Amino acid sequence: MKKVKWGVIGAGGIADRRTIPGMMLADNAELVAVMEINMELAEKIRAKYGCKYAYDNYQELIDNPEVEAIYIASPVFAHVEPAMAVAKAKKHLLCEKPIAMTVEQTKEIIEACKAAGVKYATGFMMRFGAYHMAIKKLIEEGKIGNVVSARAQLSGWFPESAKNWRQDKKLSGGGALVDMAVHCIDILEYMIGSETEEVAAFVDTRTFTYNVDDSANILIKLGNGAVGYVDAHFNVPDAAVKNRVEIYGTKGSVICEKTIGQIDEGNVEVYMSEDKGYDAQQDRTDSEAVKLDVEFGNMYTREIESFSNSILNDAEVAIPMEVGLHIQQVTDAAYRSAENKKIEKVLK
Ligand SMILES: NC(=O)c1ccc[n+]([C@@H]2O[C@H](COP(=O)([O-])OP(=O)(O)OC[C@H]3O[C@@H](n4cnc5c(N)ncnc54)[C@H](O)[C@@H]3O)[C@@H](O)[C@H]2O)c1
């Protein structure tokens, strides 16, 4: 099978923890080059995966004629410059979320990719979770009726650390909201099949002393009328978090535990009810949970295979960067809502 030759910028973080191991399992992708902030680290990662080239300079990786597609997984402040350089070099680009520090920067990257005629995607890999794909299909088939309400959660424990770019607004653009809530907003929109139009949010720093939010609690009103509640925290212990997703419709519900995360796993129960008219007894004894039949795999492998397939077959990209732009517009509205204490519209 033909393989897309990949280069990775910022290869030592999530790339090394998840995405490159996923890429190594992909049928249509081959890692050829990695870039890190120093040669020692770059060379260590190169050797670990047995790829050809290691760099401490992103432009050299981009200029390598063997590299066809580039995955940017550096901290958020270090996305824009390499992303623009990738587009200038007419190479395909998969960029981690959030794409950039501002909506305007993300628009510039998208325009540059369009002008270059390359494929461009956002790293919302949770869309490739086996349960999430199955739930999307179930909802599309109308199995739980019209979705009226939903909830998603992603939290963890991030105590103060002087070296952590996530805790410095100048380097991250924000905290729990842009780092974690974005996945929840995106996965709800994906499964329900509708985009957020309005937001009401409380976003603040309640526990730690850093200058980004450690708590994001937001209500999203989707275009189809459903309301979602998303909570993302840097101040809840990892072991205490169940990362639940709940989706309620006019004919049933989907309740998920631990499907939100980096491993394709979890437990999902689906409840479907026949319409028996109004039941004054509110009898809930007849609703038996249905288990969804899915095959677990690796969502990062699916992410890389999907984007590589788009490149090889000139096919539509599953999660184009416009999705990342939209989610950034939602988080902007959430910050405005928290500050203005008002419901805010998502501005295009
Ligand atoms: N989709 C996911 O599963 C997922 C998970 C975690 C993080 N992320 C995203 O990935 C990006 C990186 O997050 P992380 O958790 O890997 O951070 P990290 O700090 O763990 O790793 C970032 C890596 O980038 C390197 N780096 C730092 N400055 C750089 C620069 N100027 N140029 C190139 N490389 C540089 C660092 O040395 C480090 O190895 C962020 O955008 C984050 O939101 C995505």
Radius of gyration of the chain (CA): 21
**pLDDT surpasses 90 at 116:** yes
| pLDDT tens-place string over residues 289-318 | 888 989 999 999 999 999 999 999 999 999
Distance (angstroms) between ligand 1 centre and the Cα of 144 equals 38
5 SS3 class: strand
Q: What residue owns the CA closest to ligand 1's atom 43?
A: 97
* Residues 219 and 177 occupy one common structural domain: yes
Give residue 162's pLDDT. Answer: 85
Give residue 173's pLDDT. Answer: 97
* Residues 104 and 176 occupy one common structural domain: no
CATH number, domain containing residue 78: 3.40.50.720
Looking at the domain assignment, is residue 308 inside a domain?
Answer: no
Q: What residue owns the CA closest to ligand 1's atom 18?
A: 13
* Residues 144 and 69 occupy one common structural domain: no
Looking at the domain assignment, is residue 82 inside a domain?
Answer: yes
Domain that includes residue 109, residue range: 4-118
* Residues 199 and 341 occupy one common structural domain: yes
| pLDDT tens-place string over residues 90-104 | 999 999 999 999 999
Distance (angstroms) between ligand 1 centre and the Cα of 242 equals 24
Tell me which of 83, 118, 153 is where a domain ends. 118
Looking at the domain assignment, is residue 154 inside a domain?
Answer: yes
Q: Counting atoms of ligand 1 from 1, which one is nearest the CA of 19?
A: 3
* Residues 77 and 205 occupy one common structural domain: no
Q: Torsion-angle region of residue 290: left (phi > 0), alpha (psi -120 to 50) or beta? A: beta
Distance (angstroms) between ligand 1 centre and the Cα of 200 equals 29
* Residues 48 and 169 occupy one common structural domain: no
Total residue length of the chain: 348
Q: Which helix (H) or strand (E) holds 187?
A: helix 182-192
- Any idea which of 7-11, 160-164, 319-323, 336-340 has the lowest mean pLDDT? 160-164
Looking at the domain assignment, is residue 265 inside a domain?
Answer: yes
* Residues 66 and 215 occupy one common structural domain: no
**pLDDT surpasses 90 at 288:** no
CB 229 within 8 A of CB 218: yes
**pLDDT surpasses 70 at 117:** yes
Of 242 and 320, the one with more pLDDT: 320
* Residues 64 and 191 occupy one common structural domain: no
Q: What percent of the chain has pLDDT over 90?
A: 93
Grade residue 1 by pLDDT with cuts at 50, 70 and 90.
confident
Distance (angstroms) between ligand 1 centre and the Cα of 142 equals 38
Looking at the domain assignment, is residue 137 inside a domain?
Answer: yes
> CA separation (Å) from 14 to 10, 22, 65, 262, 308?
9, 11, 25, 10, 19
Q: Counting atoms of ligand 1 from 1, which one is nearest the CA of 15?
A: 16
Tell me which of 88, 118, 148 is where a domain ends. 118
Distance (angstroms) between ligand 1 centre and the Cα of 179 equals 11
What gap in Å lies between CA 134 and CA 269, rounded to an integer? 12
* Residues 204 and 341 occupy one common structural domain: yes
CATH number, domain containing residue 290: 3.30.360.10
* Residues 227 and 333 occupy one common structural domain: yes
What gap in Å lies between CA 151 and CA 220, rounded to an integer? 10
* Residues 111 and 194 occupy one common structural domain: no
Distance (angstroms) between ligand 1 centre and the Cα of 165 equals 9
Grade residue 283 by pLDDT with cuts at 50, 70 and 90.
low
Tell me which of 71, 93, 118 is where a domain ends. 118
**Average pLDDT for the chain:** 96
Looking at the domain assignment, is residue 83 inside a domain?
Answer: yes
* Residues 73 and 161 occupy one common structural domain: no
Q: Measured between alpha carbons, how far apart are the two ends of the chain, in Å?
A: 40
Give residue 219's pLDDT. Answer: 98
| pLDDT tens-place string over residues 118-164 | 999 999 999 999 999 999 999 999 999 999 999 999 999 999 998 89
Looking at the domain assignment, is residue 206 inside a domain?
Answer: yes
Q: What percent of the chain has pLDDT over 70?
A: 96
**pLDDT surpasses 90 at 58:** yes
| pLDDT tens-place string over residues 174-226 | 999 999 999 999 999 999 999 999 999 999 999 999 999 999 999 999 999 99
Domain total in the chain: 2
What gap in Å lies between CA 41 and CA 29, rounded to an integer? 23
280 SS3 class: coil
Grade residue 276 by pLDDT with cuts at 50, 70 and 90.
low
Looking at the domain assignment, is residue 180 inside a domain?
Answer: yes
- Any idea which of 45-59, 132-146, 248-262, 264-278 has the lowest mean pLDDT? 264-278
Q: What residue owns the CA closest to ligand 1's atom 29?
A: 74
Q: What mean pLDDT do residues 228-253 have?
A: 96
Give the pocket of ligand 1 (CB within 6 Å).
9-10, 12-14, 18, 36-37, 73-76, 78, 96-97, 123, 125, 179, 262
